[in-house]
Structure formats: C-alpha cells, structure tokens
C-alpha cells in the first residue's frame, strides 16, 4: 500500500533565507558562499567546509548550533539529527509539520549544498578495503535525498557547475528559487546518489566475488550530448562510468570536430582490438569500419603496419577509424592522412605527428596515455526489452591458451605465429567471424554472417578484390592461415577456406562433427589447432 498523500500544492517561489553547506569538493565554494551571503542568506556549515568559509571572512554558523550536539565519531555523525532532517523534510504549509517544527525549535533550511566523499576516486586508486569503506558517505546522501524529496520547499545543489545558475536564479527571482528550478536540481540530486550507490554496490560485488548480485546497478555522468545516435532521428548522450581503462572515454581529444555516437562505438572497438598486440613485440595497426576490422597488421614500424592493414581492404578503410599500439609518429601520420579517416586513436602522438594531422581540421586525434589490458577482468552490459544482459569481459588471450594440434600435420612456426595473430583479430570481429592472415597481417575478413561458410566466402571475395586493386596475380589468401571465432559445424566452411588457399586453421573445436572437419583437413594436408575457447561477438 502506498504512503498516503496530503496533496498540499507546492509554492512556485520559495525565498532562500538559510543555506546548509557541507561539501568534500570545495571547488568554487567560497565564491558561491560569498554570493549567498551578499543575497542575505544565512550560512550554516559543518567541519572543514565551515572552517573554509570562516577563513574567507564570512559569517557562518556551525551545524552543532542547530542540533545542540557536536560532531562525533571522527565526523561520521554530524548532520544525522532531527534538527537537520526536520528542517529539510518539513512540509511548511502542513499545519502538523509546522507545529512540530515550532515545538522542537527546528529552523527551516531552504538550500542545501552538498557533494560526497570521493568513493569512486578512492576505489580507483587501489586503496585498501577499510579506506574504501571509510569513504562511503552516509550523511551526505541522506541530506541530499531528504532535500530532493522535499523540493517543494528546499533546493538541493550537488554539482559545483550549478553554482552560477543558482546565483543567477536568485538574482532573477529577488532571492527566491522557482519550483521548476528546484525540480531540476532534485532530479539531478537523485541521479547523483543513484550513481554513487551503484559504484558502492558494484565494488562490494567485486570485492566479495559475487558474480551475479541480486540487484545490479549501473551509473554514469553525462560527458556530452550528441547531435544524434546511430541514425539522425535518434537522440544520444555519452556517459562516463568512471572506469579508467585506457580508451575513448578517458582519451584527450587533441583536435577535430566532436565525436559522434558511431565514432565512439567504432573507436572503442578499434582500440580494444589493437590492445591485443604488445607494443614491445611489434607495432600494430587496426582499421575499423562499423565496429568490424577491415584491416589489421603488425610490422617493424607503424608506417609498415598501416600499409599492410590498408592493403587488406582499401575500399572499406575509407572513412574508417585507425588505432595503433604505439605513439603516433610523423611517418605514420603522413601515410594515414592520405586516406579519408574519421578518427585516429593512439597512446600518444609526437608534436610532428600532431601537426601533420592538424592539417585535416575535421580529423579527430585522440591520445589515451596507455593501452587497454586484454587480460583485465571487467563487466559489459547490453540492453534488451525489459532488462539488461550482463557478462564478464572476454579477457581470454590466445597466448595463454593451450593449443591442441588435431591434424596429422602440425603448423610450421610461421603458420603458428599467423594463427595466433588471426585468432586475436577474430576475437574482435562480429560473429560469424572468419579471418585470413599472412605474415602478420589480415588478408581477408568475413564478419556478421548467419552462416560460417558465407563469412569464409565473403572474406575470400574481399581478398580477391584487394588483389585486383593492388595489381597482384593472386589473392594473399594463397598460403595464408585462417581463424574461426567458433567451431565449424560442418566441413563446408573449412573447405571454402582451403579453396581460398589457407594452409592452416585455428578454431575452438567442440562441434558434434569435429571428426568430419579434422578428416577434411587431413585429406587436404592442412594443419589445424583447437583453442578450446570460443569468441562469439554479437
């Protein structure tokens, strides 16, 4: 049964006569406090906030004057008191509430300024369990939620970026705040505490190794409102979760126009893929279009790797995303800008490279400061009607897998190196995925087909097209290896790869017809290894 409602209409304008300020982040605090004081607002505060305000020469009452009770337990208990929460929750036009406030000498509070202990930052810092727990704010969320619930009479400010708009609204309304404005602040306040609690509950699940908690919450802060989503008729915004994994969300954009929804999606896919390649071993380039790679390659330099990656599918690379695992240098930048490119993302860029890219004013250049760890644990979520699908990140790395040779012929060392390369790439290709590779470069990619044999044929067809464009006598799939993200359910997909010229195959295995597929491989004298791990990507 719902809580009964008294249906007392909320006033439009509420004068702000008393404000309670209790903040951890003191950005802009003193200027805001000065503006409130100049508007005739009485300032009430707590602990370090009160000290900062007093040191600025402003009159401020300690909250203990309202409560008649000092801060105790290292500041854990200071605002959790009826004199504070009664001042925030009282319905002033309700006779019973008004009488209770008079009887208990509760002075109304019209404005609350509160932000929270830095739980998210402390968690990310790698602090110990006790330190993280100590940075779970209790009094702050309680005050914020109480004020937001009673927005009919109380304004709640949780973000320093809103200080200027509050001052402006007070000036416009001669010391009052409107109901619409208070509603807007309340909505933002509830979103902030929800995000805060999501971070706490997520940490607890992680710390206690609870893979599937009964209640799962996700939160984020708006980073940018986009012109549109995947299509022009769809609205879109980009929210930051606070995860510091190197990538598009944490990158600095050195130049270029605003990233679109599709840019961000594709750039994330590109950088996660290139993160599979150790920069200490070789340079690597990934060219992405519509979240699928159209060319990936390793090389002694970024320039060499880019040339090999581009050769895989130069047509699809037009208007694509280019990701790399090393610092962008001038010679690589000169090659990349020759083809129309939407985004370049790299761990960093030299001044010379940045200047070359700057000549293309719309080309976005992002630097991340590092590479994503392909082995790191994490969580991904996907919305479906009425719910969320949540799973652990696919952090299986081919170098860590026990590969099993299942054919009469074992792969040569060169074939094995290319097989591992191809399987790294296949992990980041939409299923059904087929990847042909040769000499550390993709030479044919088939993605997102309903039939694995179709993916194999499409990849081979693309290799033929690339060979014609390059003036080659035969496609590079001749003498290549092939990777499949999942098992071959029938031998037809394998036979198609053999027809394209593949000499060795890497696949998870596990089909009811594995023996038929192995027999077909042996019949044609090719090598096959099983990984035991599947990389579906939908």
CB 485 within 8 A of CB 535: yes
Choose, from 26, 149, 183, 188, the residue flagged as catalytic.
Answer: 149
CB 288 within 8 A of CB 269: yes
CB 158 within 8 A of CB 192: yes
Q: Which of 514, 516, 509, 515 is nearest to 531 (CA)?
A: 509
Choose, from 34, 81, 188, 290, the residue flagged as catalytic.
Answer: 290
Instruction: For residue 335, give both structure tokens.
Output: 């090659």
DSSP helix, strand, coil percent of the chain (3-state; round to 5):
40, 20, 45
CB 467 within 8 A of CB 458: no
Task: Name the DSSP class of 322.
Answer: E
Instruction: For residue 282, give both structure tokens.
Output: 């070789």
Calculate the alpha carbon distances from 302 to 108, 177, 307, 334, 454 in Å. Answer: 65, 58, 9, 11, 32
| Helices marked H in 341-448 | 351-358, 413-426
Q: Answer yes or no: 149 catalytic.
A: yes
Strands 176-178 and 527-530: unpaired
CB within 8 A of 185, min separation 6: which ones?
Answer: 148, 151, 155, 156, 157, 158, 162, 166
The verdict on whether omega for the bond into residue 258 sits within 30 degrees of 0, i.e. cis, is no
Instruction: For residue 408, give both structure tokens.
Output: 């009469």
Active site (catalytic) residues: 149, 290
């Amino acid at each position: 049964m719902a809580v009964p409602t008294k249906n007392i209409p909320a006033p439009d304008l509420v004068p702000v006569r008393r404000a309670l300020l209790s903040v951890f982040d003191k950005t802009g605090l003193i200027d805001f406090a000065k503006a409130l004081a100049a508007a005739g607002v009485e300032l009430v505060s707590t602990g370090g906030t009160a000290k900062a305000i007093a040191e600025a020469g402003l009159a401020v009452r300690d909250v203990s004057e309202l409560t008649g009770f000092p801060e105790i337990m290292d500041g854990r208990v200071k605002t959790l008191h009826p004199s504070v929460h009664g001042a925030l929750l009282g319905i002033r036009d309700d006779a019973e509430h008004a009488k209770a406030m008079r009887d208990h000498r509760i002075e109304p509070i019209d404005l609350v300024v509160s932000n929270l202990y830095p739980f998210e930052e402390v968690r990310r810092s790698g602090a110990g369990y006790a330190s993280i727990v100590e940075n779970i704010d209790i009094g702050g969320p309680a005050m914020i939620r109480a004020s937001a619930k009673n927005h009919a009479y109380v304004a709640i400010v949780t973000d320093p970026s809103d200080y200027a708009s509050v001052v402006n609204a007070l000036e416009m309304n001669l010391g009052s705040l409107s109901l619409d404005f208070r509603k807007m602040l309340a909505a933002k306040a509830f979103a902030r505490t929800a995000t805060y609690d999501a971070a706490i509950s997520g940490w607890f699940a992680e710390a206690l190794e609870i893979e599937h908690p009964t209640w799962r919450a996700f939160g984020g802060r708006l980073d940018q409102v986009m012109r549109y989503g995947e299509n022009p008729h769809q609205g879109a915004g980009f929210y930051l979760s606070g995860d510091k994994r190197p990538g598009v969300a944490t990158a600095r954009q050195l130049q270029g126009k605003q990233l679109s929804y599709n840019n961000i999606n594709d750039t994330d896919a590109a950088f996660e893929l290139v993160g599979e390649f150790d920069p200490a071993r070789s340079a690597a380039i990934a060219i992405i279009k519509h979240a699928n790679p159209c060319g990936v390659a390793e090389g002694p330099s970024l320039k060499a790797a880019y040339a090999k990656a581009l050769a895989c599918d130069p047509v699809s690379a037009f208007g694509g995303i280019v990701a790399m695992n090393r610092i962008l240098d001038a010679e690589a930048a000169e090659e990349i800008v020759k083809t129309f490119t939407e985004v370049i993302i790299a761990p960093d860029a030299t001044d010379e490279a940045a200047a070359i890219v700057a000549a293309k004013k719309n080309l976005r250049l992002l630097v991340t400061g590092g590479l994503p760890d392909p082995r790191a644990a994490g969580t991904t979520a996907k919305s479906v009607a009425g719910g969320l699908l949540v799973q652990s990140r696919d952090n299986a790395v081919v170098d860590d897998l026990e590969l099993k040779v299942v054919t009469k012929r074992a792969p040569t060392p060169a074939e094995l190196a290319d097989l591992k390369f191809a399987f790294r790439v296949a992990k980041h290709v939409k299923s059904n995925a087929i990847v042909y590779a040769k000499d550390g470069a993709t030479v044919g990619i088939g993605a997102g087909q309903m039939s694995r044999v179709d993916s194999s044929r499409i990849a081979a067809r693309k290799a033929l097209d690339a060979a014609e464009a390059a003036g080659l006598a035969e496609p590079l799939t001749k003498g290549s290896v092939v990777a499949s993200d999942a098992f071959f359910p029938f031998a037809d997909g394998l036979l198609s790869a053999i027809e394209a010229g593949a000499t060795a195959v890497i696949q998870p295995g596990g089909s009811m017809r594995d023996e038929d597929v192995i027999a077909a491989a042996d019949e044609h004298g090719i090598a096959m290894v099983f990984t035991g791990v599947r990389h579906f990507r939908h």
